[in-house]
Structure 1
């Protein structure tokens, strides 16, 4: 079989000759008891850079030894890009949320052999799920592989925004030392009201990680948490996003992108937020209206916005979020730490082993199966597509 793997570019200076750490902690289970990926073997060192083109997710030896063909590229957006050329006769396509190959209906229909789309990470909104269902293309992802990585990133961003770390760091880099300039937008999070839109694995982990800061915790989700968890964390449940954002000083978005959440945080929703609130989005860029966010930062309706998700990705060089005030944006990196890469690379290997051997893939990994939403997809997604406008990614210039 032919496997097409679309990964982000190598480091500009070439692959690392050595790493900051000699090893990473070994984990066996996630907090809910689910085991980490369990492939029969791996051909990489945990902690190595695996998510870029030369890293190849550690798959080449495994695939070629089994008689399969692996094609790896980062050329994914322009007309006549390498990924499109290779897709037409591919059996499996692997992509990442951090550098998504937007699997639109047109692309799916150009690939008559395509049987499976694998997300090396979590979040499969870059796939037209309706088209995948229509053409019986299974969609799977490595559920939970980087959820805690993202939660750590969110906590970092909350603290960085509220304490105004980015401004203080800039002052030092510019040779300055004016304390008043450094602290005029700096606050403590203690006593603030912190809310998450969605309380799945990432959202709930953020709440747990923020509890020691002595804050008031809120959440909205279409699936209410068990009463025992609400009591443990002293959570306030809200029936609507509007109810929650009206009283929260910090809102973090942790829901999947699908037609129902696309553009959820538009000008109207942001106007209902507490004036001067902070908004953190590591879910998907399309959940927030880019112009509405920039305008809210200019007006002071928002005191800060941080995240690592954009739409499309890579973000065009003229994307307004690159230059808006009081932002803490990064490239889409929250879920692709070297620790997370080891887990999602192992998860992709596990999925491929099951696929080749005709063994059932773990139910939590499933998004689309046999023409319908399944597993995590049935729990978290809705039918349809959120890939519209993805062609704008071709505007990015390296």
Structure 2
């Protein structure tokens, strides 16, 4: 069986696949959409990160395709509907980049609180702006976490260590889980209105697209600080620009954008109270090794008739139950 690795993953993941009997691994990094279609014609599985798009056209060209693996969390570069229609399992690695993304989020929070970036840039330029660069403290501030999954919970834990009060909006958060984490569960308007800091940790869906818009900013405190290392487009970019210019938002930090790479002439690049990073959330050695090996193991297991894990469009099933359930199982 052939496995197409279309984006560069940890060498340990690729080596794991090559060591398994019966697999022919095709490494085709940086392929054009047309080349991906050509490579996919006789493959049983495709592994991607965020660069390669696995479209309906790719799947239609791949009659043997059984699974698509995403080394990472977001699957907006994979046509889930087309995969489901064709019985193709889509899997991701939700735990592998949790700490990396949480730590980057907190880095943005700190840099948006103390003007570290401007200070470092000024020092390289020969400046000494000690009196001009006044910041704030995280202690005794309120953080609203939008989306209290793995990453959101890790950010909340770090905020509590800095003596912040943490509130959270998450439609799936139970009162029991909130109590366990010592976090107050609030509705979305409550999160907007009570927070000194807001961090976003939600997937991009029709419901979350543009969720933080002009109306949302109007509900926030003056001088709020906003950070997004989740998915571009959840914060409406034009609304954020206006809020930063007016001072409604004192500072913000982004790692994700509606269009990536961020256009060279984007207005974001001219705002001094906005810190930007080029989608680095999972860019640590530890995270990349973890997600690369994890997705390689998951793909191998599926192709060998084993357990299905972290599937986006079907339940995760133990192999001992698969033979019994398979005649009745439909991709959801």
Regarding TM over 0.5, the answer is yes
The partner residue of 1:169 within 105, 115, 120 is 120
Q: Which residue of 2 aligns with 1:48?
A: none
| TM-score when normalising by structure 2 | 0.87
Q: Give 1:236's aligned residue.
A: 184
Say whether 1:295 aligns with 2:242. Answer: yes
Which among 165, 182, 188 is matched to residue 137 of structure 2? 188
SS in 2 for 1:166: helix
In 2 relative to 1, CA 323–117 (structure 1 residues): closer, same or farther, beyond 3 Å? farther
State the shift of 1:202 in Å. 0.8
Match of 1:148 among 85, 94, 99: 99
Q: CA deviation at 1:302?
A: 1.5
Alpha-carbon distance in structure 2 between the residues aligned to 1:136 and 1:352: 15
Q: Residue 72 of structure 1: CA displacement? A: 2.7
Residue 368 (str. 1) matches residue 323 (str. 2): no
* Structure 2 residue aligned with 1:315: 262
Superposed displacement of residue 179, structure 1:
0.9
Q: How far, CA to CA, are the matches of 2:190 and 2:99 in structure 1?
A: 27
Alignment of 1:303-382 (within 5 A): 303-362=250-309, 365-369=310-314, 374=315
Gap runs ≥5 in structure 1: 9-50, 376-382, 385-398
Q: Give the paired residue count.
A: 318
Inter-partner Cα distance in structure 2 for 1:233 and 1:226: 10
Distance in 2 between the 1:346 and 1:174 partners? 43
* Correspondences of 1:271-286 after superposition (within 5 Å): 271-286=218-233
- Alpha-carbon separation, structure 1, partners of 2:37 and 2:131: 53
Secondary structure of 1:287's match?
coil
Pairwise CA RMSD of aligned residues? 2.5
Does 2:11 align with 1:66? no
Cα 1:288–1:72 change in 2 (3 A) is farther
2:110 maps to what in 1? 159
Kindly state the Cα deviation for residue 4 of structure 1 after the two structures are TM-superposed.
2.0
Distance 1:116 1:172, change over 3 A: same
Partner Cα distance (1:279, 1:84) in 2: 40
- Residues 79-102 of structure 1, C-alpha deviation per residue, up to 9 Å, x if partnerless? 64x334323443212111xx3322
- Residues 37 and 57 in structure 2, CA contact (< 8 A), matched pair in contact too: no
Show the counterpart of 2:43: 90
* Residue in structure 2 matching 1:218, options 140, 144, 167: 167
SS at match of 2:83: helix
- Structure 1 residue 259, shift from structure 2 partner: 1.8
Give how far 1:233 is off. Answer: 4.7
